[in-house]
Each structure stands twice: as structure tokens, then as C-alpha cells.
Chains A and B, each alone.
Chain A
Amino acid sequence: MAAAVLIKNLQKSYGDVQAVKDISFTVEPGEIFGLLGPNGAGKTTTIRCLCTLAKPDQGKIEVGGISAIASPKAVRQRLGYVAQEVAIDKVLTGRELLKLQAALYHLPKSMIGDRIEQLIEVLGLQEYADKKTGTYSGGIRKRLDLAAGLLHQPEVLVLDEPTVGLDIESRMVVWQFLQELRAAGTTVLITSHYLQEIDALADRLAIIDRGVVIAEGTPSELKDKLGGDRVTLRIREFTSEEEADQAKHILESLPFVEEVIINSVQGNSLNLIVKSGQSSLSKIEQSLAEVELPTFSLAQSRPSLDDVYLAATGRTIMDAELAAASTRDLKKEQKQQMK
């Protein structure tokens, strides 16, 4: 069976900006696949190439074995696309927008009414369908856009940052819905710079940084590959530098501790990487007590996807976001997307 989505050695530049340098990944039928990376990593450009909105400079894109470059129309029919910024015509009602969408995908006229009714019901849009979309909240808009993307029963639903700007409740609604969608057999490709989202939803993911894939696998594969557990230790709520240094020396001598980092931003708390499967916490607490250092808080966890990103790039996604935010030319990017 052909992969639901196959992207191989994708390259795309806008002027002198190389948005995508070399991206390859495969989405299997029926899974939720996540593209994780900070803003500006090349996620949206990749999605635009997949959805035939942009022509790649180089590389292969296939949906269900059909080339997006050679047969864009067939690929458009197989994809549902939910853009990051939902573009809806404010003057139309939700139902009118869905009718337009149905015609654009050439649904048989006999089917259109029932199909729209079905999706309005499944997405809980009954009381909004006949109101103008200009009156919708962000969460309702997103639901309408999900309905529009699914109207033609696509094989793959592509969502670009589906929960950016949504309140927590709407975010949960979208997450739950995507899981129902997977259960029904639709393949889902989702981009996000939001770790928890990918961790909670994705069966498999690719982490993208500066236009290249730096890791691909299931969330637990990637975390296991990194090895060890993460321990966060606070000696006091606000620890002095001397005490933190002292604790660092003691902890580094423990056999199961691999690395200790003092996080000065978080009140000199200590971040440890320890061998997993050990009763590390009690031993840490004990060795601190021996030199009469208190323990304010102590927690052990498996590595997160952020740790995976950190290990590969030397910075956290948050750092990358902040760095990118200061150098991005959003206006220029918007111009490119208008093409």
C-alpha cells in the first residue's frame, strides 16, 4: 500500500531565503503524523508545497502514490486542508460556505445537502450554521474550517497549526476530534510548534529545524533514543549560586547522574540527566541531606520532545521561537504566501 504522504528531499526557496533545505518524511495511512518545529522552521512551506499552493524547487511529493507535481488536481481531491489562518468570507453563513466548498470539490448535487447536515451535526455547529461567519469565535471558526476540509471525505486531512490562538477548551475539542477522525480511518498530518499537542496526538512525528528534518519516529522512540530520565531539583524556592554550585559538585559524583545543569533563569534550579529505571530521587535527596542542603522540590520525568529538540539543536524550541521572532520578516512572508 502506498504511503498516505511521501515527501522526499524537498527544497523550496523564496528569493534568497531557503525556507526548506532538505525535508523528507513518510506518513502511513490511518495515522496522525506531527511536524514539530519552531516558527520559521519550514513547516508551513512544506505544507504549502504538499497542498499544491507552492511549487517545490526540488524533491518528490506524493499523496497515496500520486505525484503532487505531475497530477496536482488528483492530489487536491484527496487532501483536505485546514490553514493556520482560517480564511472565511465574513458575509457568508457557515452553511453557505460549506455549499460553496461542496461545489468546488464537485460533490454530486444529490449528496451535498445530506453531507453538509452530517458535518454540521458531527462538529456541533447546529446553532451557528445559519449565522454569518463574521460573528463566530475562533473555536467555532476552526470547527467550520474542519467541516469544510472534510466535506469531500479526503484520504488525508492536513492541518497547519490547528490550535494556535484557541482557548484551552476549543483546543481540547480539536484534539478529541482529530482522534475521532483517526479512529474513522482518515490520515491526519498536523504541524505544530506546540510540544504537548504533538506529544498528545501524534502516532509518529518529524522534528524540523531550519528547513531540515532532525528526527523522525514515534514520540517514545525519540525520547528513548535520547536515553535517561530528567530530574528537576530545587534546593530552595530561590537558591543562591553557591548552594547550587555545591549541590552540582555533590550530584555529579553520583554514579547514575550523567549531567547537571544549573538553570539560572529558573531561580538556580538544577536540571539533571540520570540513568532511567533507578530510584534516583531518594538517593539525590539523601546525598543532599548529608551536607545539610534542603530539598524544596524534586521531580523525575521521562525526556520530553523538547529535550529531543534540545539535544539535536542545542537550544529549546522556546529559545528558537524567541530567536526567530526577532529576525523574521512577517510582512515579507505574507507576500510570499499570497503568490
Chain B
Amino acid sequence: MSQSISSSKIKSALAPNISISRQNSESSNSLGNFIQETLALTKRLFIQLQRRPSTLVAGVIQPFMWLILFGALFSKAPANLFGNDLSYAKFLAPGLIVFAAFSGALNAGLPVMFDREFGFLNRLLVAPLSSRYSIVAASTIYIIALSFIQTAVIVLASAILGAGLPGIVGISAIALIVFLIVLGVTALSLGLAFALPGHIELIAVIFVTNLPLLFASTALAPLSFMAGWLQVIASLNPLTYAIEPIRYIYGHGDWAINSIVMNTPWFGFSFGAVILVLLAFDALVLLAIQPLLRRRFA
């Protein structure tokens, strides 16, 4: 295969080069290395997305269909049922933003699981990664970017369907909330991808988590519609803490950090408090998956 190449050229191409390994093991630039490997792994995921866009297309179409179908389902609901001056489209949009982001994040572990099953992960694990958390970081960056695309589409589609459009600050606040919920759920899914034996089990977990968490949140109906026990569950569901502040932003142009955006059976939460709850959720998940990752990455 290499007849046309002079042997000296082959020699220099194939000879071991100790200086590369020395330079790398001695260099203290581990942050630079971490960034290099994380960007390369993220790029791989985006190349995959570009050449196989069906996940993104489905991820955008699905909430769009929810929006139209649920809107039609409740189109004869009495006026002001969901709050003063609140159309169901306006009520539903925040729920679907969060639910779409949540579903996408819940699936984050699947590509990692397939890499495990096909042996591609081994390729990463035999490489001298500065930290194996770059594998997790790349998936997280990728999923967050996808969620932002989904969110933008839902916000625009709901605006067209009559939900209105929040201002710049409102949109930024929505982005922050989406980021926080996606971070926690992605971490959870990635942790499961390393803990569960195979993709069948992971899909089973996704299957039993996805819709129940949707119905046990305030995505489709307000707390006041629910049975008492479901109100309790919905008030503990992290999705509710992401949905309610976004809904408040949609309903109130004059929201502030101390506005009470959410009422549970126990007490009301201000916008700031809700953000703290979401941060606590992220911290809890990130702590919980540490032992799982460390077992695989040790």
C-alpha cells in the first residue's frame, strides 16, 4: 500500500516520538487539554446531528404537535379557566418549553450508552484525557444547545398561535431556567448511561419517567385542578419549578425577582426562590452521579 513512498518517509511517520508524550505528561496545561478534548467531542456530536438530524426534527415537531393538539383539546374550556386573560395556548407554551427540554435531556444518555455498547467509549477511555468528565461535558453542551433550539422554535410557534412574546429580559430568564433544568436532567441521564447494563434498560427508565413526570407537573393543568395527592407530587416535581416561573413571565410583563411566581399547598415561591430550588436540584444530581461516574472513570 505504500510502495510509492520512500522508506525514510515511512520511518519518520511511524517512529515513536517520546517528546510528545513527555511534553504532554509534564505540561501543566491541563485546562487547555480539557478544553481541546471537550470541543473535539462536542464537534463529533454536532457532526452527527448535521448528518442525522432526525432527533432534532422530531424534538421540534413533537412539542409543536402537543401545542396544537392540547390547544384543540381544551379549545372549548370556559374563558378565564386558566387565569385571567390567559388563553390555553399562553398557558400551555411554558409547559411545553420545559417538557421538550426535559425530554431531550432525558435522552442525553442514549448516545453515550450506544458508544459504550459499540466500543467507541473504549477509544475515549484508552486516550490520555485530561479528565474523563470531558465526555460528560461534551454531551451536556450538546444537549443544552439542542434545548435552546427547541425552546426558540416553541416560543416562536406559540407567539404565532397567540401566546404573545416575552421581552428580552423575559427570554433571557426563560433561557436560564431551561439551562438549569436541562443541566440536572442531562446529568441524571448520563449517570444512568454509565450505571445501567444496556440501552434496553435505559430506554425503559426513560419510558417510565417521561410522561408520568409530565402529568405530575403543572405543564398541562394548574395545581388547583389536581387531586390533593397529585398537588403534593407536582409541588415536589422539579419540572413544576421550571414551568411556573416561565408561565409567570408569559402572563405578567412586570415580573421581578421577588414576584411570587408559584404557589404550592405549603407556601409561595418567588422567582429568586425558584431559581435556588433549581440550582439545588442540579447540585443534588451532580453529587448523586459522582459515585457512578467515578466507578467507571477510575
A residues adjacent to B (C-beta < 8 A)? 51-53, 55, 73-74, 76-79, 81, 83, 85, 87-89, 91-92, 96, 99-107, 118-119, 121-124, 132, 143, 148, 150, 152-155, 173, 176-177, 180-181, 183-187, 335, 337-339
Contact assessment for B119 and A180 in the assembled complex, using a CB-CB cutoff below 8 Å: no
Give chain B residues whose Cβ lies under 8 Å from the Cβ of A152: 20-21
Contact assessment for B11 and A183 in the assembled complex, using a CB-CB cutoff below 8 Å: yes
Contact assessment for A78 and B15 in the assembled complex, using a CB-CB cutoff below 8 Å: no
Task: Judge whether B17 is part of the interface by a CB distance below 8 angstroms.
Answer: yes
User: Which of B18, B20, B118 is close to A87, meaning CB atoms less than 8 Å apart?
Assistant: B118
User: Complex: how many Å from CA A89 to CA B125?
Assistant: 15
**Minimal beta-carbon separation of A120 from chain B (angstroms):** 10
Task: Judge whether B244 is part of the interface by a CB distance below 8 angstroms.
Answer: no
Task: Judge whether B40 is part of the interface by a CB distance below 8 angstroms.
Answer: yes
Give chain A residues whose Cβ lies under 8 Å from the Cβ of B18: 155
User: Complex: how many Å from CA A96 to CA B47?
Assistant: 9
Contact assessment for A181 and B14 in the assembled complex, using a CB-CB cutoff below 8 Å: yes
Contact assessment for B127 and A105 in the assembled complex, using a CB-CB cutoff below 8 Å: yes
Contact assessment for B126 and A76 in the assembled complex, using a CB-CB cutoff below 8 Å: yes
User: Complex: how many Å from CA A175 to CA B104?
Assistant: 46
User: From residue 28 to 60 of chain B, which have CB atoms closer than 8 A to chain A?
Assistant: 33, 36-37, 39-41, 43-44, 47-48, 51-52
Contact assessment for A87 and B128 in the assembled complex, using a CB-CB cutoff below 8 Å: no
**Minimal beta-carbon separation of B187 from chain A (angstroms):** 21
User: Complex: how many Å from CA A123 to CA B14?
Assistant: 10
Contact assessment for A123 and B120 in the assembled complex, using a CB-CB cutoff below 8 Å: no
**Minimal beta-carbon separation of A124 from chain B (angstroms):** 3
User: Complex: how many Å from CA A337 to CA B36?
Assistant: 27
Contact assessment for B129 and A87 in the assembled complex, using a CB-CB cutoff below 8 Å: no
In the complex, the 6 A-B pairs of residues with the closest C-beta atoms, listed nearest first: A103-B40, A124-B1, A153-B17, A87-B119, A184-B14, A104-B127
Give chain A residues whose Cβ lies under 8 Å from the Cβ of B43: 100
What are 30 A-B contacts defined by CB distance under 8 Å? A52-B126, A76-B126, A77-B25, A83-B119, A83-B123, A91-B47, A91-B51, A92-B44, A92-B47, A92-B48, A101-B123, A104-B37, A104-B40, A104-B123, A106-B128, A107-B20, A119-B13, A122-B9, A124-B2, A155-B18, A155-B21, A180-B2, A180-B7, A181-B14, A184-B14, A185-B15, A187-B16, A337-B119, A338-B116, A339-B296
Contact assessment for B16 and A99 in the assembled complex, using a CB-CB cutoff below 8 Å: no
Give chain A residues whose Cβ lies under 8 Å from the Cβ of B41: 100, 104
B residues adjacent to A (C-beta < 8 A)? 1-2, 5, 7, 9-18, 20-21, 24-25, 33, 36-37, 39-41, 43-44, 47-48, 51-52, 116-120, 122-130, 197-198, 296, 298
Given contacts A104-B37, A106-B37, contact A53 B122 (CB under 8 A): yes
**Minimal beta-carbon separation of A256 from chain B (angstroms):** 46
Contact assessment for A85 and B119 in the assembled complex, using a CB-CB cutoff below 8 Å: yes
Give chain B residues whose Cβ lies under 8 Å from the Cβ of A73: 25, 128-129
Q: How many A-B residue pairs have CB under 8 A?
A: 140
Give chain A residues whose Cβ lies under 8 Å from the Cβ of B2: 121-124, 177, 180
Give chain B residues whose Cβ lies under 8 Å from the Cβ of A92: 44, 47-48
Contact assessment for A103 and B37 in the assembled complex, using a CB-CB cutoff below 8 Å: yes
User: Which of A74, A88, A335 is close to B197, meaning CB atoms less than 8 Å apart?
Assistant: A335
Give chain B residues whose Cβ lies under 8 Å from the Cβ of A81: 126
Contact assessment for B33 and A106 in the assembled complex, using a CB-CB cutoff below 8 Å: yes
User: Complex: how many Å from CA A107 to CA B118?
Assistant: 26
User: Complex: how many Å from CA A88 to CA B20?
Assistant: 25
Give chain B residues whose Cβ lies under 8 Å from the Cβ of A52: 125-126
Give chain B residues whose Cβ lies under 8 Å from the Cβ of A119: 13
Contact assessment for A122 and B10 in the assembled complex, using a CB-CB cutoff below 8 Å: yes
**Minimal beta-carbon separation of A70 from chain B (angstroms):** 13
Q: Closest residue to B39 on the A side, CB-wise?
A: A103
Give chain B residues whose Cβ lies under 8 Å from the Cβ of A184: 10-15
User: Complex: how many Å from CA A73 to CA B58?
Assistant: 40
**Minimal beta-carbon separation of A159 from chain B (angstroms):** 13
User: Which of B10, B122, B127, B198 is close to A101, meaning CB atoms less than 8 Å apart?
Assistant: B127
Contact assessment for B128 and A77 in the assembled complex, using a CB-CB cutoff below 8 Å: yes
Contact assessment for A74 and B1 in the assembled complex, using a CB-CB cutoff below 8 Å: no
Contact assessment for B117 and A338 in the assembled complex, using a CB-CB cutoff below 8 Å: yes
Give chain B residues whose Cβ lies under 8 Å from the Cβ of A185: 11, 14-16
Give chain B residues whose Cβ lies under 8 Å from the Cβ of A143: 1
User: Which of A99, A122, A187 is close to B13, meaning CB atoms less than 8 Å apart?
Assistant: A122
Give chain B residues whose Cβ lies under 8 Å from the Cβ of A121: 2, 5, 13
User: Complex: how many Å from CA A177 to CA B36?
Assistant: 31
Contact assessment for A74 and B20 in the assembled complex, using a CB-CB cutoff below 8 Å: no
User: Complex: how many Å from CA A76 to CA B122?
Assistant: 12
**Minimal beta-carbon separation of A220 from chain B (angstroms):** 27
Contact assessment for A155 and B13 in the assembled complex, using a CB-CB cutoff below 8 Å: no
Give chain B residues whose Cβ lies under 8 Å from the Cβ of A335: 197-198
Q: Closest residue to A147 on the B side, CB-wise?
A: B13
User: Complex: how many Å from CA A176 to CA B124?
Assistant: 28
Q: Closest residue to A4 on the B side, CB-wise?
A: B16
Q: Closest residue to B134 on the A side, CB-wise?
A: A104
**Minimal beta-carbon separation of B27 from chain A (angstroms):** 8
User: Complex: how many Å from CA A202 to CA B14?
Assistant: 18
Contact assessment for B24 and A77 in the assembled complex, using a CB-CB cutoff below 8 Å: yes
User: Complex: how many Å from CA A177 to CA B39?
Assistant: 32
**Minimal beta-carbon separation of B283 from chain A (angstroms):** 28
User: Which of A87, A99, A118, A155 is close to B40, meaning CB atoms less than 8 Å apart?
Assistant: A99
Q: Closest residue to A66 on the B side, CB-wise?
A: B25
Give chain B residues whose Cβ lies under 8 Å from the Cβ of A51: 126
Beyond A83-B119, A92-B44: 17 further Cβ-contacts under 8 Å?
Answer: A53-B122, A73-B25, A76-B128, A79-B126, A83-B123, A87-B120, A87-B122, A88-B120, A100-B43, A100-B44, A121-B2, A122-B2, A152-B21, A153-B20, A155-B21, A180-B14, A339-B296
